[in-house]
């Protein structure tokens, strides 16, 4: 495994498994399909498939995670340090949680190209100094707000605040406290 592929947690990362948030967003925004960038072994994708019978696609770079995936039939192996991956169709929701910090800054446009096919994006990030395997792109929230804005996304501030407040109840040591919810300004 290449270092930049980040690694994964066997059985999924409990801090990125957020069915309360997904259910809320799915109902409020009428979400029917999902793209999970950095999907690991597919735990998040499975929720969408089970709950909504949603069309779903996962993108993962780590071959070990893919080999242990619970949904290998809807998981694409792709290394964003090599090139972009642009899915063949659009999605209602893009999930990108605890992924960006594992890929060097110079390759951001590659994975952002995948998310550009999503009407909304739920994103979380590691902050500078946050522990973790191969954390090479830890940024403050302001950085990610600017990067998404450069790619024609708008932060839905009221929703972001609601989603981040869930951390007060559930205390995830990462993920919920940095959640951002974006709307794609392009007409998909």
pLDDT tens per residue, range 67-76: 999 999 999 9
152 in a structural domain = no
15 in a structural domain = yes
Cα–Cα distance between 94 and 105 in angstroms, integer? 20
What is the reported pLDDT for 51?
Answer: 84
pLDDT digits (tens, 9 = 90+) for 12-40: 566 678 899 999 999 999 999 999 999 99
What percentage of residues in the chain have a pLDDT greater than 70? 87
63 in a structural domain = no
What is the reported pLDDT for 2?
Answer: 46
Q: What domain count does the chain have?
A: 1
CB atoms within 10 A of CB 103: 23
Per DSSP, the three-state class of 119 is strand
Cα–Cα distance between 184 and 148 in angstroms, integer? 9
What mean pLDDT is predicted for residues 99-109? 89
Classify residue 10 as exposed, middle or buried by CB count within 10 Å of its CB (0-12, 13-18, 19+). Answer: exposed
pLDDT digits (tens, 9 = 90+) for 148-175: 999 999 999 999 999 999 877 766 666 8
Cα–Cα distance between 94 and 133 in angstroms, integer? 23
User: 65, 60, 71: which is closest to 9 by C-alpha?
Assistant: 65
Residue 102's pLDDT band, with cuts at 50, 70 and 90, is confident
Query: pTM for the full model?
Result: 0.91
Residue 188's pLDDT band, with cuts at 50, 70 and 90, is low
Q: List beta partners, residue 75.
A: 58
78 in a structural domain = yes
The domain in which residue 3 lies consists of 1-34+43-58+68-92+163-188
């Amino acid at each position: 495994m290449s270092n930049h592929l980040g690694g994964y947690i066997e059985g999924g990362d409990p801090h990125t498994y957020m069915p309360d948030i997904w259910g809320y967003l799915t109902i409020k925004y009428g979400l029917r399909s999902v793209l999970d960038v950095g999907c690991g072994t597919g735990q998040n994708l499975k929720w969408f498939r089970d709950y909504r019978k949603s069309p779903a696609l996962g993108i993962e770079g780590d071959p070990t995670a893919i080999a242990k995936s619970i949904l290998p039939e809807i998981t694409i192996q792709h290394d964003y340090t090599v090139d972009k991956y642009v899915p063949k169709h659009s999605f209602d929701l893009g999930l990108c949680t605890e992924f960006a910090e594992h890929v060097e800054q110079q390759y951001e446009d590659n994975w952002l190209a995948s998310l550009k096919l999503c009407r909304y994006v739920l994103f979380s990030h590691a902050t500078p100094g946050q522990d973790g395997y191969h954390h090479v792109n830890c940024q403050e929230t302001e950085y990610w707000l600017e990067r998404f804005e450069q790619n024609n996304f708008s932060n839905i501030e009221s929703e972001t605040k609601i989603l981040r407040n869930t951390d007060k109840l559930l205390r995830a040591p990462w993920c919920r406290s940095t959640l951002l919810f974006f709307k794609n300004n392009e007409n998909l």
